[in-house]
Structure 1
Amino acid sequence: MFELQKLLRPHIAAIKPYSSARDEYSGSDGVFLDANENPFGSITQEAFNRYPDPYQSALKVEIAKIKNVSPQQIFLGNGSDEAIDLLFRAFCRPSIDEVIILPPTYGMYEVSANINDVKLKKVNLTADFQIDLNGILEAISANTKIIFFCSPNNPSGNKLKRQDMLSILAQFEGLVVVDEAYIDFSDEPSFTTELAKYPNLLVMQTFSKAWGLASLRLGMAFASVEIIKILNLIKPPYNISGLTQETVLAAIGNVSAKDQMVKSLLVERANLQESLAAISYVQKIYPSDANFLLVKMKDARKVYEYLIDHLIIVRDRSKVVLCDDCLRISVGTPAENQHLIQIMKKFQA
């Protein structure tokens, strides 16, 4: 049985959070003489002299509407990476506890584990980039606190089998994190629909991909109210700038524009896949539910360097487990994709 307080590091459960001026008074009207701000404004035309809402309340209300969750089930971080780091800090005792990751996968799980001195157990995905269910169950120990799933997976691009993830959720007494950075490009329903059933589930999404707001660094985490309270307890006081909050508020009022960009990217993904398949030295293009393709080819490193020489930048994943001789290619604009194909056709394998 999942028991959140038993999972939590004891000193985190007892911590007294930093109390900011906006914790003590959250109203928007008044004479603000409480936060040592500059009362004359900022040196720009924008009013940046006041601290932002530390809990992004107005933004969470609007996100809740499009994600079908309550605002209290949302954590917003400086990218999804902040949520990942906070999970380690809240639940994993250094040098004692461990987490399970499924290579090849998003690299920040391992980086955050190393920063926080948390042991990693790696259970590789299968040859077709699916979950080794028995391998995970065998790897779980009394000190396993978190299991990370990335679906659609980075760098392979495919969605993981939903039933396998649900099976782990039902059997594991720790936290299960489902990273859905690329969910907008998939036909799979979000795991946010499972939050009411599984109190040990945390779902991560981002504004960096489908929404086209990577520079703003805004990640989302959805979980039980109790888990979100813990993340809010240990986050920096003002982790999301006022400018970011205002910009994203404006953006999410236009969901149809995001949906149109996704539709266009899916068309371009199919076109790019077809064009790549016609190149002689391309050996395999893995199925993708994301906005990129993992492509196996002869002389992958040489192709990568050749493309760099022509100012086309892709990711060399050929040294990553299960990704021998593979490049990861993001779907670009029609002109960018056509230029890529033209240059690749001239390469002599």
Structure 2
Amino acid sequence: MMNLDKLLRDNIRNLRPYSSARDEFSGEAMVFLDANENPFNQPYNRYPDPLQRELKEKIAGLKNCNVDQIFLGNGSDEPIDLLFRAFCEPGQDNMVTIDPTYGMYQVAADINNIEIRKVKLKEDYSFVAEELLARADERTKLVFVCSPNNPTANLLDKAEILKLIYGFDGLVVVDEAYIDFAPGASLLPELGQHENLIILQTFSKAWGMAGIRLGMAFASPEIIRILNKIKYPYNINILTQQKALELLELEEEKNKWVELLIEERQKLANSLEKFPFVVKVFPSDANFLLVKMHDARGIYEYLVENGIIVRDRSKVVLCEDSLRITVGSPEENAILIEKLNDLI
């Protein structure tokens, strides 16, 4: 059994959290004189709900989970940072992750002065749980895996992820930012079975809400309480909460977007494979393709000159000479292919 209290930093365990006016009273009233707010310019004069109750109720219905299993952050980067701040003692503890993967794990670890131990993926971008577990020691508090992984685009083997969860005494964080493009693969339905599992998801990809910066962490109520304890009081502003509630009514449209993007992903892969300078288009379970090319940097610069921006991942381990190409609209994908045709 995981001992969550033992994993916590001493100062976090003993922390007396800030109590805001909206923590001490929630609900409706005739007159609010408790938070030193300007009485004019409603509703923007009022502090937002610090626990985003209405929004979490909506998300709980969509995700088929409980409200007390949800943490909402300013993007997924906020819960990533908070996990380091809650559980990792700077200069002493460490975390383990795969390589390559999402770069913010490294950045958040570095900011918090936490050693990061990387385990290189196999040539097919798979991983072996035992290799990650072998890198862990008594000071390892967190293991991060991203599935589907960024920038390799592949869904990781669920059986190997479960080996991590069962074999590690600390917290296993599974980042599912791209899970909507790999249907049926989320671990969220099994959240209640694993007390050391934390799942990250986002509204930036499938839902088209990258601009409002709203990320989700799902975990046991005990872990969620810790994240709420150390977050800034009003981390999700009223505009983001309102817009998210509005856009979450468009689930049917979101599903159509996902279906279209999956179709376009395959069409784009088929088109790219025909170019003589393309070495390989890697299989994708995400909304992007990793494409190995001859002279990837030169092609990147050519596309930039023509107003098309992709991501050069050539300096990333196991991604040498590769571009990461987001699947765009049919019109955007057609423009990309047209410009690449001019190189032949």
TM bin (shorter chain): over 0.9
- Residue number among 293, 304, 311 corresponding to 1:308 in the alignment: 304
- The reply to whether residue 285 of structure 1 matches residue 281 of structure 2 is yes
AA of the residue aligned to 2:12: I
- The reply to whether residue 6 of structure 1 matches residue 2 of structure 2 is no
* Partner of residue 18, structure 1: 18
* Partner of residue 33, structure 1: 33
C-alpha distance in 2 between matches for 1:225 and 1:30: 33
C-alpha distance in 2 between matches for 1:133 and 1:166: 9
Equivalent positions of 1:184-223 (< 5 A) are 184-223=180-219
C-alpha distance in 1 between matches for 2:142 and 2:199: 13
C-alpha distance in 1 between matches for 2:258 and 2:271: 20
Residue 41 of structure 1 deviates from its aligned partner by 1.6
* Partner of residue 333, structure 1: 329
Note if contact 1:123-1:132 (Cα within 8 Å) is conserved in structure 2: no
Note if contact 1:94-1:118 (Cα within 8 Å) is conserved in structure 2: yes
AA of the residue aligned to 1:68: N
- Residue number among 329, 332, 338 corresponding to 1:342 in the alignment: 338
TM-score, structure 2 length as denominator? 0.99
AA of the residue aligned to 2:336: L
C-alpha distance in 1 between matches for 2:250 and 2:288: 24
C-alpha distance in 1 between matches for 2:223 and 2:33: 33
Equivalent positions of 1:108-257 (< 5 A) are 108-257=104-253
The percent identity for this pair of structures is 55
| Uncovered stretches (5+) of structure 2, i.e. residues with no partner | none
C-alpha distance in 1 between matches for 2:12 and 2:19: 16
AA of the residue aligned to 2:318: L
AA of the residue aligned to 2:14: A
Deviations 1:258-294 (A, max 9, x none): 1011011111111101110111110101000000000
Query: Where in structure 1 do 4 or more consecutive aligned residues deviate above 4 Å?
Result: none
Note if contact 2:154-2:283 (Cα within 8 Å) is conserved in structure 1: yes
Residue 29 of structure 1 deviates from its aligned partner by 2.5
Deviations 1:125-147 (A, max 9, x none): 11111113232121010000000
C-alpha distance in 2 between matches for 1:97 and 1:28: 45
Residue 30 of structure 1 deviates from its aligned partner by 2.5
2:174 aligned counterpart, secondary structure: strand
Deviations 1:200-253 (A, max 9, x none): 000000000000000000000000000000000000000001111111111112
* Partner of residue 316, structure 2: 320
AA of the residue aligned to 2:90: P
CA RMSD of aligned residues (A): 0.9
* Partner of residue 87, structure 2: 91
| Uncovered stretches (5+) of structure 1, i.e. residues with no partner | none
Note if contact 2:289-2:325 (Cα within 8 Å) is conserved in structure 1: yes
AA of the residue aligned to 1:15: L
Residue 196 of structure 1 deviates from its aligned partner by 1.2
Note if contact 2:97-2:132 (Cα within 8 Å) is conserved in structure 1: no
Residue 347 of structure 1 deviates from its aligned partner by 2.0
* Partner of residue 48, structure 1: 44
How many residues are matched? Answer: 344
C-alpha distance in 2 between matches for 1:11 and 1:63: 32
C-alpha distance in 2 between matches for 1:40 and 1:196: 45
Deviations 1:58-117 (A, max 9, x none): 000010011111000000000000000000000000000000111110000000000000
